[in-house]
Amino acid sequence: MKCRHCFSELNHTFLDLGFAPPSNSYLTKDDLTKPEKYYPLKVMVCDHCWLVQTEDYAQADELFDSEYAYFSSTSTGWLEHAKQYADMIIQELGLNEKSLVIELASNDGYLLKNFVEKKIPCLGIEPTASTAKAAKALGIPVLQDFFGEQLGKQLAQEGRQADLITGNNVYAHVPDINDFTLGLAAALKPSGTITLEFPHLMRLIEFNQFDTIYHEHFSYLSLNTVARIFKNAGLRVWNVEELPTHGGSLRIYGCHESDVRQTLPTVQVILEKEKERGLQNLSVYESFQEKADAIKNEFLEFLITQKKLGKKVVAYGAAAKGNTLLNYAGVKPDLLTFVCDAAAAKQNKFMPGSHIPIMKPEALFKEHLDFVVILPWNIEKEVREQNIQLAKSGTQFVTAVPSLKYS
């Protein structure tokens, strides 16, 4: 296999999680009687451009189909994050009724509805039918398609170049990151701005976040690598912010290479920090498997111990990261009775691979529970606050990453 960015030969494994079904392919009751597709979940690192990437195995349309069940609006914390961003960027860029905002992977309209409210023209680009339908219901124009250079050029030819192109947690999801970035360049006005948010590889390594690795994430990104990819497409990263979202993310600000805006010192600060943490050192990548295995083993030992003690253990959040953890650890309903989730699209279905049933959040209150494992640990605070009555009744909340803790 060759690197998806620089085409160098890939010889180094970052993490091998064996075989697993796609993390967002939730199952119906009928599906349980049919064969389930498993793919290798192996991640390589390029020792030339340092792009960390999944091993080639499947087409993107097999992962983001009409039944794709991730709806951004399920998390109240994420809705607030989106609103704060919209308010900030509208003011910073002076966006108005003559501007155009394009969001890539616009999902269910969680972000663009803030621009619609301010009467700023916008366009969502979203390949999955279920989420695109939800966004259209909010009055958001949506183009149901995958984004890349061809679509970027088409938008430019139609006179729909954007003042702002934004994408939250999409850059890691694209199989051809070069084509996607060339699309950004084509669809951006000469003085336009790009903002992309994505989990920071440096934080993934620092906090042992191996469960954020799944098939839908084709790339795991550092600023160093993203700056290389942008430059290759005639773009430049001129500012960057560190965010607490998803266990530690970056928000990069991009523009055309010829843009008059100066590159801010923040960019060099993060680049230096990545270098200090060893992100251009193979040993940092080659030691990660051992850390992931330790977390997996500790979590499995906890579940087995509670089973022997006759304790009742369930989970909250049928998240993709939870599916990575459960499938790598080989957890089944005998150890984890059910998972609750607020997303209606996941309720009454089953977790891929583990076949653990997904129930409405009300199920948490129907009987005494000893432990609730919060699978999406990035929203631990939100889950605890929403279920404070459980803690008062003696239920303990558990997280497995970066190490096992419960209270």
- Write the pLDDT tens digit of every residue in 221-260: 999 999 999 999 999 999 999 999 989 999 999 999 999 9
Which pLDDT band holds residue 77 (cuts at 50, 70, 90)? confident
Sign of the CA dihedral running 196, 374, 323, 55: positive
68 falls in which pLDDT band (50, 70, 90)? low
Q: Hey, what's the torsion of the CAs at 6, 10, 13, 19, to 10 degrees? A: 100
- Token pair recorded at residue 211: 């469960």
Express each pLDDT in 228-237 by its tens digit. Answer: 999 999 999 9
Decide if pLDDT at 369 tops 60: yes
8 A C-beta contact, residue 325 and residue 384: no
Q: Which domains does the chain have, with CATH numbers?
A: 72-285 (3.40.50.150), 300-406 (3.40.50.720)
Residue with tokens 């160093």: 224
Could you tell me the pTM of the whole model?
0.91
Rounded mean pLDDT, 59-77: 63
Listed residue (37, 54, 42) closest to 16, CA to CA: 42
Rounded CA separation 81/62 (Å): 30
Cα distances (angstroms) measured from residue 78 to each of 85, 95, 174, 245, 344 = 11, 22, 21, 8, 17
